[in-house]
Structure 1
């Protein structure tokens, strides 16, 4: 995917662009949510990322969970579409990110226990005690996950 974004950036430079992304809420047995510490911004977000050309939101969520967390997941249900995600990356690139959020459940794999090129760390957090987040969209997505838990899992 980086090559696709790099190709776009080669054409438009640092001009703001619109990107589509997908991510998921994965809960442990204490209803804590899994977050990953990002290598690019050094703050926390939900495992997920940008769609590759021709990929669906569902497919991207499943692929990104494997890449970001080492876990195989299945989509349980969609939790919302978030279109007010504005991100400025350390190199100055700006994007409005349209994200599809899902509730997911683990089906296999093993949670990463080492840093990768995208993930420095993975931890479960209580919705009441979240670390510094990537952006407002991440906070909005976590709020939607929290509301779902309160309405359906309590």
Structure 2
């Protein structure tokens, strides 16, 4: 979590916040999409995260992919801008994330083989076999991919 959000949370506690986030869809050669199993819920989502103060969607996406997956990616196309979802994290923090969801391409790096503070594991999924997503926003993003690429 960017220090900006930690500072906000110290001031407002668990009250609802509107935050900007960026997520990306990376396909492998088998047309499977990369997802991360989250440490906070054990459910799946797209690599990505919240923007730091002064950071743009694409910069945050590149940073988050490297932190969460070990990969350098290049954002190619905005697939969806989502602003209608609300989520309460297991710790009680409430958010309305405004998310830029991008198609990305691999540039360099290797998939992380060990868990991090946000990622338990990484795996590629077929578009006709979605896992359990940690919130409705990620399930909707998966549906966007199904509509475009199935």
Query: Does TM, normalized by the shorter one, top 0.5?
Result: yes
Alignment match, 1:22: 22
1:6-85 to structure 2, matched below 5 A, reads: 6-85=6-85
Alignment match, 1:126: 126
Q: Give the Cα–Cα distance (whole angstroms) in 2 for the partners of residues 60 and 129 of structure 1.
A: 28
1:129-140 to structure 2, matched below 5 A, reads: 129-140=129-140
TM-score calculated relative to the size of structure 2: 0.96
**3-state DSSP class of the match of 1:85?**
coil
**3-state DSSP class of the match of 1:81?**
strand
Q: Give the Cα–Cα distance (whole angstroms) in 1 for the partners of residues 63 and 82 of structure 2.
A: 19
Alignment match, 1:88: 88
Unaligned runs of at least 5 residues, structure 2: none
Q: Give the Cα–Cα distance (whole angstroms) in 2 for the partners of residues 24 and 126 of structure 1.
A: 16
Q: Give the Cα–Cα distance (whole angstroms) in 2 for the partners of residues 110 and 29 of structure 1.
A: 15
TM-score calculated relative to the size of structure 1: 0.93
CA contact 2:130–2:142 (8 Å) conserved in 1: no
Q: Across the two proteins, how many residue pairs are aligned to each other?
A: 150
Q: Give the Cα–Cα distance (whole angstroms) in 2 for the partners of residues 102 and 28 of structure 1.
A: 15
How far 1:85 moved relative to its partner? 2.4
Q: What's the Cα RMSD here?
A: 1.0
**4+ runs of 1 displaced by more than 6 Å?**
none
